[in-house]
Structure 1
Amino acid sequence: MAEIMAAAIQLFKDKGYHATSMQDIADAVGLQKGSLYHYISSKEDLLILIIREALAQYISNLEEIARSNLPPRDKFAEAVRHHLKGIATNLGMLTVFLREAHALTPEQRAIVDRETRRYNELVEGIYQEGVAQGVFRPLNPKLVCRTVLGACNWFYRWYRPDGPLSLEEMADFFVDVLFRGIEARPAASETAPPGSGGQSAAGGSDTSAGA
């Protein structure tokens, strides 16, 4: 079964889900088409198996991060790195998941939506933990989650293992940029900053006009 899934992932990635036939998959693993049905009942069932396997790996790893004793900032960083590295190390599987999930049946889509919500809730929980500790700004948790995961999910479209930056360097870049968008910032001082020409916060001069 693992060989069949691996062949399907490669074909779905290279040709697209709709352009791949059961005959293509059978040929890739050296089986007669009829024999393939002893292992899998349909192409649709293969797609949901691939997507659920990807989600299971993601959820398991993120649950471990969320349960850890790391401070929220480090949990956030690890969550982003884990997401990107998951795409990079399972590029075929994640490409199929992110690009072909629209082909699922409504019943299959409901299953995937439920499991995706679990992943999103974990990301939101890490963010809200940081808000409670004053590490992150209080923003809409769902929008924060969608922004972070939206940026990370697009990674599959342009990531190349032989690119000029290593995976670790790109993960560090993502963490830095995304964290700066949600980090808590000190309140602006009401006093004039150095070198402001003696202007007070109200815009007036600190010195009286000469007579």
Structure 2
Amino acid sequence: MTAGQTRAAVSEEVVLDTALTLFAERGYHGTALSQIADVLRIRTPSLYNHMRSKEDLLRAIVDRTTAAVLDDFESMTSEDGDWPTRLARATRVYAFRHATHRREALVVNRDTDCLGEPHRTRFQDRRRRHEHAFRGIIAGGVDAGVFHVGSPALASFAIREMCVSIARWFRDDGPMPADAVADEYSRFALQIVGSRP
């Protein structure tokens, strides 16, 4: 948002994007509606032309993000492929999302529990679907004898947490682009499950 932004440029999407930035930087509870309004150079009551509450902003962010993560996973793993290929694809797309959507990842992983019911449970259920499907790929590879790991659940947790951490350290101007990081993490995932070339 530029200092010269005018009231006419403010829209629901602009409000949501501003809230996303501030939530990522300060946390949901650490961000006041007045701070969002200050960035947008409008009065706080004017925000209600674009939203009903601060929680509505968080709900929209979590809804979009968790739906996109699940869509990414399903689109990348629905194609034909052996177990190592499916795990590499699932890890790659998850790592890439955390490198390219860092604000969303930080907010969703930290602030989803701030939502009231039934929204919190609905979004947590969506995240669990992703977790269980990810674990299912590893369990399938173990059953097929191509993955060699004692606990598919623990391996799945390790791989997913490894990807989640990207949002905390990745920088666009860093030594590796997002594509390269995602490729490398997909190789790490195969090493974790003991996939043998």
CA contact (8 A) 1:131 1:138 kept: yes
Aligned identity (percent) is 28
Q: Which residue of 1 aligns with 2:137?
A: 126
Q: Which residue of 2 aligns with 1:160?
A: 171
d(CA) in 2 for partners of 1:107, 1:119:
19
d(CA) in 1 for partners of 2:24, 2:195:
40
> Does residue 1:97 correspond to 2:129, yes or no?
no
Following TM superposition, where does structure 1 have runs of at least 4 consecutive aligned residues deviating by more than 6 angstroms?
none
Unmatched tracts of structure 1, length 5 or more: 187-211
- Higher-RCO chain (CA-CA 8 Å, sequence separation at least 6): 2
> Does residue 1:29 correspond to 2:50, yes or no?
no
Equivalent position amino acid for 1:65 in 2:
M
1:116 CA displacement: 0.7
Q: Which residue of 1 aligns with 2:4?
A: none
> Does residue 1:9 correspond to 2:20, yes or no?
yes
Unmatched tracts of structure 2, length 5 or more: 1-11
Equivalent position amino acid for 1:14 in 2:
E
SS for the counterpart of 1:37 is: helix
Which stretch has the larger CA shift, 86-95 or 20-29? 20-29
The equivalences for 1:53-92 within 5 A come to 53-92=64-103
d(CA) in 1 for partners of 2:27, 2:196:
45
Which stretch has the larger CA shift, 121-130 or 44-53? 121-130
Which stretch has the larger CA shift, 52-61 or 40-49? 40-49
1:104 CA displacement: 2.6
Equivalent position amino acid for 1:161 in 2:
D
TM-score, scaled to structure 1: 0.79
Q: Which has the higher helix share?
A: 2
d(CA) in 1 for partners of 2:23, 2:79:
36
SS for the counterpart of 1:73 is: helix
Change (3 A) 1:38 1:75: same
Aligned residues: 186
SS for the counterpart of 1:4 is: helix
CA contact (8 A) 1:5 1:46 kept: yes
